[in-house]
Amino acid sequence: MNYISTRGGGEAVDFQTAVMTGLARDGGLFLPSAIPDVRADLSAWAGLEYGALALEVMRRFADLPANDLRAMIGDSYATFRHPDVTPVVAVNSVHILELFHGPTLAFKDVALQFLGRVFAYYLAQSGRRLNILAATSGDTGSAAIAGVRGRFGLRIFVLYPHGRISPTQERQMTTVPDDNVFCLAVRGSFDDCQSIVKTIFRDLPFRDRYELGAVNSINWARLLAQIVYYFYGALRVMARTGARAVRIAVPTGNFGDIFAGYLAARMGLPVSRLILATNENDILARFFNTGVYQRGTVQATLSPSMDIQVASNFERYLYYRVDRDPREVCRLMEAFAQSGQLRLDRVRSAGVEELFAAGTCTTADALATIREFYGQYGYLLDPHSAVGVHVGRQFLSPDEPMLSLATAHPAKFADAIRQATGQDIAHHPVLDALANLPQRCTVLPADADAVRAFLREHIP
């Protein structure tokens, strides 16, 4: 499988190049040159355990020897605490896909445990080193650190918005003692962090000199690993219910997770609706309901991983929405960069957007959903997962079951759980053990030059 840039520059590259460089050299994002049709394989896939299913999905995109890929998958998911890796739990009218059983208790582990091993595999072959530069709104940072900490040939520099993630999320990053881990608290929003990372990656001489790589969802391997759990969850729900299609609700801020679901649907997974759920930072919901993508001011909420106004993976969706026309992608992204707004003709690619529905969940709605599910069903949702459930239930169908993605363990957001239930019930031993550990971080201004200077100082 070859990979092309959403902006059309340069020649197609192989899987290794797409993964190790992260961002295309023309500033675009990598996508596979073709999307395989797997409809004929679905019946055989329905009973596969997670690792076997991952191999079947990934081998269609990754030109790796089968035994090597199988070993990487096995090692990646051996770190998870549930034998099903991403189990499905039925709660009243919703099937919950639990994605939080990995090392850092967030869905990012599914992709980043795999990506860390892919990095190590290619670096061992080449003898190179890689310096990972990442931005996080909360969970990506700790999951990325867990995937690469202590690994030879890898350093990781994680930018996060100072004072705008949960204390638990911060401790998961800043208490890691490994010498190859650097945590940078940026005085600004996640969008500022993300903008700094993209600015530095567009500086090609600097990027080449300091051998920078990406673990954010701009990296294709992240999306590849996430496609797997859409097949796993949907096929299990259809087997349990006898349904011929499912609806899937996805809490999202950066559009990476739901875009993986979109790719699964394009591969042939019977998804009748992808339901995009946002909190008050609703730029994506507004786009799918109005056709206008317009940057606003970031609002702090109880679901901080979704407190985003510029979704980095939206460009990948644009590519398909404008009939795979890279020149039009460039025009639209330039318009957005200049004005903070872009508009799309809703008629041009009607077949693409008909798959999506979208809605917004307020903080009050999320707290009420957490309270209801715990009080009535004994099931505890974290605030991000509650956003997905709340919006997903607006689109229930009697014939098509609802699968809703649970993206984090509730213990990561204990304050929100206390607000919702009035009880201190959100705990996990992994997180409780971090409470009194020493922390390491450097506070920097929201300035790309300040981050460049830090990288120069800490990369030999």
* Residues with catalytic function: 108
What is the rounded CA–CA span in Å between residue 273 and residue 269? 11
Half-sphere exposure of 117 (CA within 13 A, CB side): 19
356-360 and 271-278: which strand pairing? parallel
Write down the residue that tokens 């903080």 correspond to.
363
Q: If DSSP states are collapsed to H, E and C, what string results for the chain?
A: CCEEECCCCCCCECHHHHHHHCECCCCCEEEECCCCCCHHHHHHHCCCCHHHHHHHHHCCCCCCCHHHHHHHHHHHHCCCCCCCCCCEEEECCEEEEECCCCCCCECHHHHHHHHHHHHHHHHHHHCCCEEEEEECCCHHHHHHHHHHCCCCCEEEEEEEECCCCCHHHHHHHHCCCCCCEEEEEEECCHHHHHHHHHHHHHCHHHHHHCCEECCCCCCHHHHHHHHHHHHHHHHHHHHHHCCCCEEEEEECCCCHHHHHHHHHHHHCCCEEEEEEEECCCCHHHHHHHHCEEECCCCCCCCCHHHCCCCCCCHHHHHHHHCCCCHHHHHHHHHHHHHHCEEECCCCCCHHHHCCEEEEECCHHHHHHHHHHHHHHHCCCCCHHHHHHHHHHHHHCCCCCCEEEEECECHHHHHHHHHHHHCCCCCCCHHHHCCCCCCCCCEEEECCHHHHHHHHHHHCC
Write the burial class of residue 34 (CB in 10 Å: 0-12 exposed, 13-18 middle, 19+ buried). exposed
The position carrying tokens 């404008």 is 322
